[in-house]
Chains A and B, each alone.
Chain A
Amino acid sequence: MKSICFYFQVHQPFRYRRYRFFDIGNDHYYYDDYANESILRKVADRCYLPANQMMLELIKKHKGKFKIAYSISGLALEQFELYAPEVLDSFKALADTGHVEFLSETYSHSLVSVKNNDLFRQQILEHDRLIEKYFGQKPAVFRNTELIYSDEIGELIADMGYKAMITEGARHILGWKSPNFLYVNAINPRLKVLMRNFKLSDDLAFRFSNQGWNEYPLTAEKYVGWIKSMEKDEIFNIFLDYETFGEHQAAETGIFSFMEQLPDAVFKNSKITFATPSEIAAKFQPVSIVSVPTPISWADEERDLSAWMGNELQDEALNKIYELADRMSKVTDPAMIKDWNYLQASDHFYYMCTKFFSDGEVHKYFNPYESPYEAFINYMNVLSDFKLRLNTFAPESKSQLEIAGLNKILEEKEAKLKKYELEIISLQTKQNVQRSVSSVKTVKEKSPGKKK
């Protein structure tokens, strides 16, 4: 038995506007609406909409034999609602076919898994609720931000009841082992682990249109030929950024027609099937445990977390934000919670990466800032303002508590004053109506009092 497992990652961060320090305490709106909307519209038109249409047709054409999975971050779903609701509808249409699986992840596409376990669980549940709301599925397979995985993260996920988790088939983890089999978590073997085949995945994600590549041009037949030739291997996990279709690889490169022809090429003269991550976890026998003591990810040559954390700026920013976790747990204000979610997106920390020498090209593509320092300053300015606001909701020290208390009293008093004013006005008008027959003049004299 042989199966190909496709999963696509869909994520868009809320990018910050140039938030200068003068704005701290004065302006609480952090977002670059123009960039967010125009980027989302652009990607929707080039990738999400045409790719979803193509996937839908493929599923219909092959009567359920072609299957795929998506992981869509909460922030991306929010942006679809804001800027491109038709994208959301097209994902719903895919969900309705019954052959598309939606995976669990952290709502904010955050790095919380290496920082705070309680918050990690909370964000997963929040995301699952959203997936259920939109697509009517309860996710059974977990995919962490950027495929970050370690034995401990896997254990936590197993305890939450998920059947399987997805990660990178990092060479330094697997060694001589192949990613093309099912593995289990080293601490809790009930959790299945799907390892990404980075060779087959990156053939599409990075090399597809590279004319200097010795396999160029890549056809569906050739690609499937490689899979067929690996006779003993069982599963082929091809995990991609969804933007590979139409955005990273432009439509002109032929990436769409490649994908259209792929199922036919697979079904021709072979028993290879397509399967979703859940089906893989259910159908296949795990071959061994996989031990990952320190976290890995799917990024860069190192396949570690160094794109998001490790340099002084990233560590500082991450520590500073997760310091606020306890105090944030008391906050119920929806605007605060939104900003809190957006602050955690891993992208902000990616922008602060100083490894611009080796993987600079890839990093630059995703980065709206001129330098990591700019990214850091901007982020810290936003965070400073956010902290000021947090003080009014969940004060840090006694004096702040007092100030917050006094502010509350002030607000209450003001509300009372307003209420009384309204009462006075209504009483006055009543009185005036009564008096109106006798004297119109008094009404005019008293009415300016309304404003005060």
Chain B
Amino acid sequence: MKVLMFGWEFPPHISGGLGTACYGLTKGLAEFEDVSVIFVVPKAYGDEDQSSMKLVGANEVPVTRKQIQFSNLQAKIDFYEVESGMIPYVDPEEFWKLTTKVVSEKTKFVETNSEGKINFSGKYDQNLYQEIYNYSIVAEVIARDNEFDVIHAHDWLAYPAGIAAKRISGKPLVIHVHATDFDRSGGSVNPTVYAMEKEGMDAADQIITVSNMTRNIVIEKYNINPDKVTTVYNAVEPLSQEEKIKLKKGVDEKIVTFLGRITMQKGPEYFVEAANMVLKKMNNVRFVMAGSGDMMNAMVKRAAELKITDRFHFTGFLKGDDVFDMFRMSDVFVMPSVSEPFGIVPLEAMQSNVPVIISYQSGVSEILKYAIKIDYWDTYAMADAIYGLINYPALHNMFKEHGKAEVDNLLWKNSAKNVRDVYLAAIGND
């Protein structure tokens, strides 16, 4: 079974959970001998890691092709990159990051790409829709040139590409909903985005959602027939040995961490309020808000207002190894997301033996047993859980012991098997 997969980012060009999930899934699928994957992504723009991708002549040929060989695996994944200036996620934080970055690196971009096809002079929204359109045109080209049995498109930016490929080839389309605009926008949905999402869902033969929470949104808010919507939970890549070395903490104090984009969707303000409550009761604890986003300034201001900045720290955006270093220093990880379709970060924290507190409003709360679950708005419960994990060692130890085992059992191979079943259903439907 050959799968033509459209995504938006792929490691090491990742900025969010989507790229990690696509990587894990394709790797999981590669373990099945009868499945092979052609993975298409638009080339990341202004990305620091661009050189490591060894892209050749991307500005001359609209499509470049390269093969990734997973070690110890038999199957190969063909990997396409489509020239584009797109960023993987449209949300306030990405927008914020992009606008600050574009200004500083504009010259560099012009240097590497002599033609400079895409104008990025701040008109982000208009340009993005253009990119999506471009992507769908390239998708048609790829769909014509390749043989495959099923199309798989990840998230709304890739839906038009998936639809275009389906139109050209007549092959069944599976779309994978990692998030909806209801999650990203907190309710004030962008009608254009909604329309593209809805179009993708309507055109799809099968829909995969990352949690039942997301599945319900797809069924209720997009009015989709429940029979074609299946939940497949994400998994997590096992840590390699070298990543397990314990970092020494600089201070003999407990560290409680928030790690993620500082945007409304992630509920950072509830973390600040809970931190304030805990700090009123005890001293030998520090709170860290790692990440960046459009709400960061407001959070700094709020922390100052509460006079807790001596114990409440901001790290800015963390990348790659810094994330794991942060986990290794942490005693508690909190994810107070207001709306989180899945949420892979707590799994990474658990891999690093960090007990986690997650909101019921996250998809990952549907599968985790060794995690404290709270409502994101219940700052009292959050504070109480933080206090309990810090002060009652038995609880902390239990999570360390069983949480690690639990997360180690979440294998991409199992998720891939479920995805494969969805493919079979889609092909059978045709």
Contacts and interface: CB of A to CB of B under 8 A. Distances in A.
A, B co-complexed: yes
Interface in A298-313: 311-313
Contact of A376 (B380, B387, B388, B401): B388
Interface string B382-421: 0111011001111101100100000000000000000000
A316 B383 contact: no
Residues of A in contact with B, size category: 20 to 34
A373 B281 CA distance: 20
A373 B372 contact: yes
B274 to A, nearest CB: 11
B383 A313 contact: no
A376 B391 CA distance: 12
A313 B380 contact: no
Interface in A318-370: 354, 356, 370
B388 A380 contact: yes
Contact of B384 (A20, A317, A371): A20
A22 interface: yes
A380 B385 CA distance: 11
A21 interface: yes
Interface string B234-251: 000000000000000000
Contacts of B369: 356
Interface in B339-370: 369
B319 interface: no
A316 B394 contact: yes
A81 interface: no
Contacts of B395: 312-313, 316, 373, 376-377, 380
Nearest to A25: B281
B384 A381 contact: yes
Interface in B271-303: 277-278, 280-281
A22 B277 CA distance: 8
A24 interface: yes
Given A20-B383, A373-B372, A313 B398 contact: yes
Given A20-B383, A21-B281, A373 B397 contact: no
A368 to B, nearest CB: 15
B388 to A, nearest CB: 3
B280 to A, nearest CB: 7
Contacts, number: 60
Contacts of B176: none
Contact of A371 (B281, B373, B380): B373
Interface of B is mostly: helix
B280 A316 contact: no
Interface of A is mostly: helix
A374 interface: yes
A38 to B, nearest CB: 23
Interface in A376-398: 376-377, 380-381, 384
Contacts of A22: 277, 280-281, 380, 383
B407 to A, nearest CB: 16
Contacts of B372: 371, 373-374
Contacts of A374: 372, 385
B398 A311 contact: yes
Nearest to B394: A316
Contact of B373 (A316, A370, A384): A370
Given A21-B383, A371-B372, A315 B394 contact: yes
A296 to B, nearest CB: 25
A381 B277 contact: no
Contacts of A384: 391
Given A374-B372, A381-B388, 16 more contacts: A20-B383, A20-B384, A21-B383, A21-B388, A21-B391, A316-B394, A354-B398, A371-B373, A374-B385, A376-B392, A376-B394, A376-B395, A377-B392, A380-B388, A380-B391, A381-B384
Interface of A: 20-22, 24, 311-313, 315-317, 354, 356, 370-371, 373-374, 376-377, 380-381, 384
30 contacts: A20-B380, A21-B281, A21-B387, A22-B277, A22-B280, A22-B281, A22-B380, A22-B383, A311-B398, A312-B397, A313-B394, A313-B395, A313-B398, A316-B394, A354-B398, A370-B373, A373-B372, A373-B385, A373-B388, A373-B395, A374-B372, A376-B388, A376-B392, A377-B384, A377-B387, A377-B392, A377-B395, A380-B391, A381-B387, A384-B391
Q: Which 7 A-B pairs have the closest CB atoms?
A: A316-B394, A377-B388, A21-B387, A312-B398, A312-B394, A20-B384, A380-B392
